[in-house]
Amino acid sequence: MRNTHVPHLCLNCNEALTAPEIHLSVNRLGHPLCTPCQHDLKTKLEQTSRETVKLYFLLKKRGIAVELEKDDSQNSIDIAIVNAKVNIEVDKPQTSYNRAKAIDELKRRYYSFEKGYYTLQIPNALVAYDQDDAVSFIEEFLQVSCQPRSYYHC
Protein backbone atom coordinates (compact mmCIF):
# COMPACT_ATOMS: atom_id res chain seq x y z
CA MET A 1 0.00 0.00 0.00
CA ARG A 2 1.33 3.41 -0.95
CA ASN A 3 1.83 5.99 1.74
CA THR A 4 -0.20 8.99 0.67
CA HIS A 5 0.53 11.02 3.80
CA VAL A 6 1.82 14.44 2.82
CA PRO A 7 3.89 15.90 5.63
CA HIS A 8 3.07 19.35 6.89
CA LEU A 9 5.99 21.66 6.38
CA CYS A 10 7.28 24.61 8.35
CA LEU A 11 6.10 27.80 6.65
CA ASN A 12 9.48 29.39 7.22
CA CYS A 13 12.05 26.71 6.35
CA ASN A 14 10.07 23.83 4.77
CA GLU A 15 11.20 21.27 7.36
CA ALA A 16 8.69 18.50 8.06
CA LEU A 17 6.66 19.16 11.20
CA THR A 18 5.50 16.78 13.89
CA ALA A 19 1.86 16.87 15.00
CA PRO A 20 2.77 18.33 18.44
CA GLU A 21 4.89 21.02 16.76
CA ILE A 22 1.99 22.03 14.52
CA HIS A 23 -0.43 22.10 17.43
CA LEU A 24 1.85 24.15 19.68
CA SER A 25 2.96 26.55 16.96
CA VAL A 26 -0.50 27.26 15.56
CA ASN A 27 -1.88 27.81 19.07
CA ARG A 28 0.99 30.05 20.17
CA LEU A 29 1.87 31.93 17.02
CA GLY A 30 -0.94 31.29 14.54
CA HIS A 31 1.31 29.59 11.96
CA PRO A 32 2.74 26.08 11.54
CA LEU A 33 6.46 26.43 12.28
CA CYS A 34 9.21 24.06 13.38
CA THR A 35 10.63 24.54 16.88
CA PRO A 36 13.78 26.48 15.80
CA CYS A 37 11.70 28.82 13.60
CA GLN A 38 9.23 29.35 16.47
CA HIS A 39 12.14 30.53 18.62
CA ASP A 40 13.65 32.66 15.85
CA LEU A 41 10.41 34.35 14.81
CA LYS A 42 8.36 34.47 18.04
CA THR A 43 9.07 38.08 18.97
CA LYS A 44 8.77 39.32 15.39
CA LEU A 45 5.48 37.52 14.81
CA GLU A 46 4.03 38.98 18.01
CA GLN A 47 5.08 42.54 17.17
CA THR A 48 4.32 42.63 13.44
CA SER A 49 0.97 43.31 11.79
CA ARG A 50 -1.03 40.32 10.59
CA GLU A 51 -0.83 41.54 6.97
CA THR A 52 2.95 41.93 7.10
CA VAL A 53 3.34 38.38 8.43
CA LYS A 54 0.91 37.08 5.80
CA LEU A 55 2.85 38.79 3.00
CA TYR A 56 6.17 37.53 4.41
CA PHE A 57 5.03 33.90 4.33
CA LEU A 58 3.44 34.29 0.86
CA LEU A 59 6.71 35.65 -0.56
CA LYS A 60 8.68 32.92 1.22
CA LYS A 61 6.39 30.33 -0.34
CA ARG A 62 7.26 31.73 -3.79
CA GLY A 63 10.94 31.14 -3.01
CA ILE A 64 11.86 34.78 -2.53
CA ALA A 65 14.62 35.39 0.03
CA VAL A 66 12.77 37.68 2.43
CA GLU A 67 13.59 38.82 5.97
CA LEU A 68 10.89 39.80 8.43
CA GLU A 69 11.37 42.93 10.56
CA LYS A 70 14.95 43.44 9.47
CA ASP A 71 16.83 45.85 11.69
CA ASP A 72 19.28 48.19 10.09
CA SER A 73 21.08 50.97 11.90
CA GLN A 74 18.29 53.51 11.36
CA ASN A 75 15.06 51.57 11.54
CA SER A 76 13.17 48.32 11.31
CA ILE A 77 11.97 47.24 7.88
CA ASP A 78 8.74 45.25 7.61
CA ILE A 79 10.10 42.92 4.93
CA ALA A 80 13.54 43.16 3.35
CA ILE A 81 14.71 41.51 0.15
CA VAL A 82 18.40 42.21 0.62
CA ASN A 83 19.62 40.56 -2.60
CA ALA A 84 17.31 42.82 -4.60
CA LYS A 85 17.91 45.90 -2.40
CA VAL A 86 14.17 46.23 -2.00
CA ASN A 87 12.39 46.99 1.25
CA ILE A 88 8.68 46.40 1.62
CA GLU A 89 6.60 48.44 4.04
CA VAL A 90 3.04 47.33 4.55
CA ASP A 91 1.07 50.51 5.12
CA LYS A 92 -1.09 50.44 8.18
CA PRO A 93 -4.48 52.15 7.97
CA GLN A 94 -4.08 55.72 9.19
CA THR A 95 -6.67 57.11 11.52
CA SER A 96 -5.21 60.57 11.97
CA TYR A 97 -2.37 62.74 10.74
CA ASN A 98 0.71 62.88 12.94
CA ARG A 99 3.37 65.28 11.66
CA ALA A 100 6.30 63.77 13.57
CA LYS A 101 5.39 60.27 12.43
CA ALA A 102 5.03 61.40 8.81
CA ILE A 103 8.47 63.07 8.89
CA ASP A 104 9.98 59.93 10.47
CA GLU A 105 8.52 57.84 7.64
CA LEU A 106 10.03 60.16 5.07
CA LYS A 107 13.44 59.98 6.80
CA ARG A 108 13.28 56.19 6.88
CA ARG A 109 12.69 56.13 3.11
CA TYR A 110 15.53 58.60 2.60
CA TYR A 111 18.06 56.60 4.67
CA SER A 112 17.14 53.42 2.83
CA PHE A 113 17.43 55.16 -0.54
CA GLU A 114 20.82 56.53 0.49
CA LYS A 115 21.95 52.93 0.99
CA GLY A 116 20.67 51.95 -2.44
CA TYR A 117 17.41 50.36 -1.30
CA TYR A 118 14.09 51.07 -2.92
CA THR A 119 11.09 51.00 -0.59
CA LEU A 120 7.93 49.49 -1.98
CA GLN A 121 4.82 50.51 -0.07
CA ILE A 122 2.06 47.94 -0.14
CA PRO A 123 -1.39 48.92 1.12
CA ASN A 124 -2.51 46.88 4.10
CA ALA A 125 -5.94 46.25 2.53
CA LEU A 126 -4.39 44.83 -0.66
CA VAL A 127 -2.65 42.13 1.39
CA ALA A 128 -5.77 41.51 3.44
CA TYR A 129 -8.22 41.21 0.52
CA ASP A 130 -6.21 40.61 -2.68
CA GLN A 131 -3.07 38.84 -1.55
CA ASP A 132 -2.45 37.17 -4.93
CA ASP A 133 -2.43 40.56 -6.67
CA ALA A 134 -0.01 41.93 -4.07
CA VAL A 135 2.40 38.99 -4.44
CA SER A 136 2.20 38.99 -8.25
CA PHE A 137 2.93 42.70 -8.35
CA ILE A 138 5.94 42.32 -6.05
CA GLU A 139 7.29 39.47 -8.21
CA GLU A 140 6.87 41.57 -11.37
CA PHE A 141 8.54 44.48 -9.65
CA LEU A 142 11.50 42.31 -8.65
CA GLN A 143 11.83 40.91 -12.17
CA VAL A 144 11.94 44.39 -13.68
CA SER A 145 14.23 45.95 -11.10
CA CYS A 146 16.76 43.20 -10.37
CA GLN A 147 19.27 40.80 -11.80
CA PRO A 148 17.35 37.73 -12.97
CA ARG A 149 16.32 35.56 -10.06
CA SER A 150 19.02 36.90 -7.73
CA TYR A 151 16.39 37.41 -5.05
CA TYR A 152 15.38 33.75 -4.99
CA HIS A 153 16.87 31.08 -2.80
CA CYS A 154 19.62 29.08 -4.44
Q: Pick the stretch among 36-44, 61-69, 122-130, 134-142 that binds Zn ion (CB under 5 A).
A: 36-44
Closest distance of CB 34 from Zn ion, Å: 3
With binding defined as CB under 5 A, does residue 112 bind Zn ion?
no
With binding defined as CB under 5 A, does residue 12 bind Zn ion?
yes
With binding defined as CB under 5 A, does residue 37 bind Zn ion?
yes
Virtual torsion, Cα 136, 140, 143, 144, nearest 10 deg? -170
> Which of 17, 29, 34, 77 is close enough to bind Zn ion by CB under 5 A?
34
Tell me the C-alpha distance between 22 and 30, whole Å.
Answer: 10
With binding defined as CB under 5 A, does residue 16 bind Zn ion?
no
Closest distance of CB 94 from Zn ion, Å: 34
Tell me the C-alpha distance between 131 and 87, whole Å.
Answer: 18
Beta partners for 68?
A: 79
Closest distance of CB 111 from Zn ion, Å: 31
Closest distance of CB 37 from Zn ion, Å: 3
Among 112, 121, 130, 125, residue whose Cα is nearest residue 75? 112
Sheet holding 86-91, edge to edge: 67-71, 76-81, 86-91, 118-123
Residues binding Zn ion (CB under 5 A): 10, 12-13, 15, 34, 37
